[in-house]
Copies of this chain bind each other. A is one copy, B any other.
Amino acid sequence: MQILSEAIVDQVIQPRQQATHKGDFGRVLIVGGNAHFGGAAIIAASAAVYAGAGLVTVATDSHNHAPLHARLPEAMVIDSQRSDLIDAVHQATVVVIGPGLGDDEVTLERVLSAVTAQQTLVIDGSAITLYAANQPALPQAHIIWTPHQMEWQRLSGIAIADQTPETSAIAAAKLPGIVVAKSHRTTIFAGTDSYQNPVGSAALATGGSGDTLAGIIGAFNAQFGAHVTSTLAAVYAHSDISDQLAKTQFVTLPTAIIAQLPQYMAIHANK
């Protein structure tokens, strides 16, 4: 088990090449937000935009289009129930499915069947619960799972009380891709390697923290490639920003963390 440090962020976040355009920094598609949980998709999309993804599109319930644009005009929106979801999946560098998806099994299966091998797929939140229940076929793709403890119980079969780095590593090894097992001390499993995040606190124990992290993971993978290190850096950065804010804030809300991303990334890009 390796313990992460600020070095992973300094390594991943590099100054941008100058003769570039937005397409060079990736397209992130967020799929989520049913009629009840629209905020989750808005949070994930906001995190992706502020973390530097070149273009961000949200496939969500039509109820969420207006609030998404009102908060985040930088993002584009499509209706997750329409056929253009498949086109949007095909155009994406990274697909993040799950924030606020609820029980929309149909959309999960449509996305899983459309993702292709060169793409990165972040499976988060409700999408993990749906996958655990129904085990639909997974695409050949770079998959990143981001379960919290209860979702990890559903996905791995390991009761929360029994989740240890050792038991989780065995379960993670049976899944394709990277597993970000979120908890007070988040552990990341990638192949035979495992990493522990030493930062973060209970100031993150508030609705939307997971959606924020999913968006950052999406944006870092879209921009920086290198799935393992990008994912590690996203986990560390999310907690590190929270720790800095927690010096003066009892809870570190998603919108507060997201607002810090451009500054945080500038500091680490220039180190």
Residue on B nearest A247 in the bound complex, by CB:
B266
Interface size class of A (residues with CB under 8 A): 35 or more
A72 at the interface (CB under 8 A from B): yes
Within 8 Å by CB of A42, from B22, B69, B246, lies B69
What is the bound-complex CA distance between A168 and B106, given in angstroms?
Answer: 48
* Set of chain B residues within 8 Å of A262, measured between Cβ atoms: 248-253, 256
Selecting from A10-18, A129-137, A139-147, A173-181, the interface stretch reads: A10-18
In the bound complex, residues from chain B placing their C-beta under 8 Å from that of A78 are 36
Q: A36-B77, A36-B78, A76-B39 are in contact. Are A22 and B70 (CB under 8 A)?
A: no
Least distance between A220 CB and chain B CB atoms (Å): 11
A63-B65, A250-B269, A266-B249 as given contacts; A76 in contact with B36, CB under 8 Å: yes
Chain A residues 11-55 with CB under 8 Å of chain B are 13, 16-22, 24-25, 35-40, 42-43, 46, 49-50, 52-55
State the number of copies, please.
4
The docked-state distance in angstroms from the alpha carbon of A206 to that of B22 is: 5
Contacts of A42 on B, CB cut-off 8 Å?
69, 73
Contacts from A to B (Cβ < 8 Å)? 13, 16-22, 24-25, 35-40, 42-43, 46, 49-50, 52-56, 63-78, 148-149, 183-184, 201-203, 205-209, 246-256, 261-266, 269
**A-B pairs with beta carbons under 8 Å apart, 30 shown:** A16-B201, A16-B203, A16-B205, A18-B201, A18-B202, A21-B183, A21-B205, A22-B206, A22-B207, A36-B78, A38-B77, A39-B72, A39-B76, A39-B77, A42-B69, A49-B206, A49-B207, A49-B253, A50-B253, A52-B250, A66-B70, A70-B70, A73-B254, A73-B255, A74-B206, A74-B254, A76-B207, A250-B261, A251-B262, A256-B262
